[in-house]
Structure 1
Amino acid sequence: MFNPRTYYGEQTDSEPVQTEAQAWQLEAKADRRRAGNLRAAVFKPRLNLHKIFWLFVICAIIGFCLETLYFFIKYRHFFGSKGLLYGPFSQVYGCGGVILAATLSSLVKKGYSVLFLASAIVGGLFEAFCSLLQEGTLGSVSWDYTYQSLFLMGGRTSVAAMLYWGVLGVVFMKKIYPSFSIWIDSLPKRQDHLVTRIAAIFMIVNMVLTLAAVHRWSERTRLIAPEHSIDVLLDTYYPDDYMRKNYPGMRFE
């Protein structure tokens, strides 16, 4: 603590000389400790539906941006990486962010190595589950790691992909999630709830429409004729060319 007696050159037998710079350093350390305690406290409250929804949306946008940047660096052109028909959203990353927050909150204080390992395992298993779910429900595959030497689970994930999830999980849990929690808790409740309802309706319609369009696209690849008016509308507004442009990496088994 800053001592005015030592600052003005007075020294006592019991107190060491303390300069102004040293006093500010001690105060800065105390501020960092308080900030660290605040960040740690962020992980104590349980996730509610409101926070889960916005966490999904933000992570879906971040995931879209990361994949777009990755493909641009690798192929030198923008490659379609969105998961929904409308908006810059990747629902795999959105769900992944929610799962990481729900499963890894208790491990944040365990250290970087433990958090990295847990993130890699959770992320790899989640990615494999998403691949199985997509193939089982829609008969399609959006990624395949069999071209890598260390692929796992039939190419549904890989060691490299798990390492990527490990790094992503550490950055997310240490930096992104604490800031997000503080921000979402500071929003005015009345206006926030109205915006959340509108955004939730949009996302639900967007996801249902995406599932319907991809399902109908899968049927067209198997030469299944439209059975009702909804199929006709999907064929009209979301034809094969449109779907291939939005999902260039998707293939049907």
Structure 2
Amino acid sequence: MFVIALFTVTLFLIARGILTLVQRYLDARGAGRSFKRMLKQGRIDAGIYADAIWTEASSFGRTKLRPKISRTQQRVIRDARRALREDFLNDYAPGFYQYIIIFLIASVLGLILETVYMYTMYGVLESRVGLVWGPFSPLYGFGAVLLTAVLWPIRNEPIWKIFVISAAVGGTLEQLAGWGMETIMHAWSWSYLHFPDHITQWVAWRFLIMWGALGLVWCKLIMPEMLFRIGEPTTRRQGIVVGLLTAFIVLDIAITVLCFYRAGKRQEGVPPRNPIEHYIDDHFGDEFISDTFENLNLDRDKLPRTE
């Protein structure tokens, strides 16, 4: 699990690097939504065009002047943007709206990266989804939300404190996820029993150290920029869309848990006892689960044991 989390964070860093390059290009051209917002708010003024080089550009049959802003003024723009971001982060704590978007982004990116990683490293191309509907791997979504919720209040604390708390959060997440899979779903996806420094089946010292390092990267480099770019909902439509997505994800998670619960009961020979369990057995039987969740081991005789 940790290896995929590492690659997921790496993907976030790559995405941030690309966005930074795009933003610098827009700054050099005096364009972009954030540039116009800073002009409107008075964080930068028309003096930003001092020493700019103007050229003619044609677009859709229309000719207009485009500036090439000097490097000195580009630094002024970047300083103003950093101040804008810090003011936003100091005034707004992440809430439900931001957490849902973070969950969705991390769930999808985690799934994509896990699939690519398994194919690149092992030549295995299989379904890595974690829910019955949609391209989601909720473990990564919950991990990103948990790190954000825990680290946000201490983002300005000493580095060692962030490191220790991040390690504790990562270890707790792995323990609860692994234990929940085996206890509730009668399934397993990873085990650290073959490592000499394992603490439990799902937690090892080496990965606690790495979780601490990942938490530092998330807290200092990824989380602030992501929350700033998500921002606050400015229209009713945004709130409605996020509300509908939330309802869908909750239903998706509930159905998935019931699917694995019934899979375990079917192995024990327990028949469905109500209409919901009949529906689950009819539409999400063993064949569906084995085809959809190919990376999970549902054979109870092969479950790794700690004793």
- TM-score where L is the length of structure 1: 0.77
Partner of 1:55: 102
Q: Structure 1 stretch 212-221 or stretch 168-177: which is displaced more?
A: 168-177
Partner of 2:148: 101
Distance in 2 (alpha carbons) for counterparts of 1:106 and 1:168:
17
> Any unmatched runs of 5+ in structure 2?
1-47, 51-69
Partner of 1:189: 235
Per the TM alignment, residue 210 of structure 1 is displaced from its structure 2 partner at its CA by 0.7
**How much is the aligned-residue C-alpha RMSD, in angstroms?**
3.0
Per the TM alignment, residue 201 of structure 1 is displaced from its structure 2 partner at its CA by 1.7
Per the TM alignment, residue 190 of structure 1 is displaced from its structure 2 partner at its CA by 1.0
Distance in 1 (alpha carbons) for counterparts of 2:192 and 2:127:
18
Aligned partner letter, 1:249: L
Partner of 2:296: 249
Deviation per CA, 1:99-149: give whole Å up to 9, x if none.
111111244445766544542332122211222333343343332121233
> Any unmatched runs of 5+ in structure 1?
5-23
Partner of 2:175: 128
Distance in 2 (alpha carbons) for counterparts of 1:48 and 1:174:
19
- Conservation of the 8 A alpha-carbon contact between 1:143 and 1:250: no
Aligned length: 233
Per the TM alignment, residue 30 of structure 1 is displaced from its structure 2 partner at its CA by 4.7
2:222 equivalent among 152, 176, 183: 176
2:93 equivalent among 16, 38, 46: 46
Q: Sequence identity of aligned pairs in percent?
A: 23
Per the TM alignment, residue 28 of structure 1 is displaced from its structure 2 partner at its CA by 4.9
Cα gap change, 1:158/1:74 in structure 2, threshold over 3 Å: closer, same or farther?
A: farther
SS in 2 for 1:213: helix
Distance in 2 (alpha carbons) for counterparts of 1:145 and 1:92:
18
Per the TM alignment, residue 79 of structure 1 is displaced from its structure 2 partner at its CA by 3.3
Aligned partner letter, 2:277: D
Aligned partner letter, 1:155: Q
Cα gap change, 1:135/1:49 in structure 2, threshold over 3 Å: closer, same or farther?
A: same
Cα gap change, 1:217/1:196 in structure 2, threshold over 3 Å: closer, same or farther?
A: same
- TM-score where L is the length of structure 2: 0.65
Distance in 2 (alpha carbons) for counterparts of 1:39 and 1:180:
11
Aligned partner letter, 2:170: G
Deviation per CA, 1:2-47: give whole Å up to 9, x if none.
9x9xxxxxxxxxxxxxxxxxxx666555544444444444543222
Q: How does 1:70-85 map to 2 (within 5 A)?
A: 70-85=117-132
Aligned partner letter, 1:105: W
